[in-house]
Amino acid sequence: MLALGIDPGTAICGYGFVEQVGSRLVPREYGAITTSPKARMEDRLLKLYDGLSELIKKHEPDVMGVEQLFFNRNVTTAIPVGQARGIVLLSAAKNHLQLAEHTPLQVKQAVTGYGKATKEQVIYMVTKLLHLPKPPKPDDVADALAVAICTAHCINSIAWRNRLEA
């Protein structure tokens, strides 16, 4: 089972493909789609859509995971992130991918065992769980891999399988 995790953003959109092989999680590809802050917003969103569509066609994941929006401080970033998240949802729909949405607490819990883990703890555990030689950079990539790990864990649960069969 191949899970695609996405950390949406208009400047940096992190992505990570994680495959479940037996009881191991194996990273297949990870990175970021970046756009220029000087570009028009509609061009940035198009670049995200085209980049995600190309990755989906290349790897053919079984499921795509994305975090639900949660903003407690900087509400001004909510609109561009919401727009990028809309592109992620559109990419899933256009490519007939099952979508798994997770809260930040669920992602942290799946990766670290603690729902209030720090960003540093999440990056550390992503690096260890996936046997990466060094922590993924930028942080958006580590976040996307964390979402992919959470998605891989969730898809194997009985409740998730029942949801897919419904």
Catalytic residues: 7, 67, 140
Q: Which residues contact 107 (CB under 8 A, 6 or more apart)?
A: 67, 122, 143, 146, 147, 150
Helix %, strand %, coil % of the chain (to 5): 50, 20, 25
The answer for 162, left when phi > 0, alpha when psi is -120 to 50, beta otherwise, is alpha
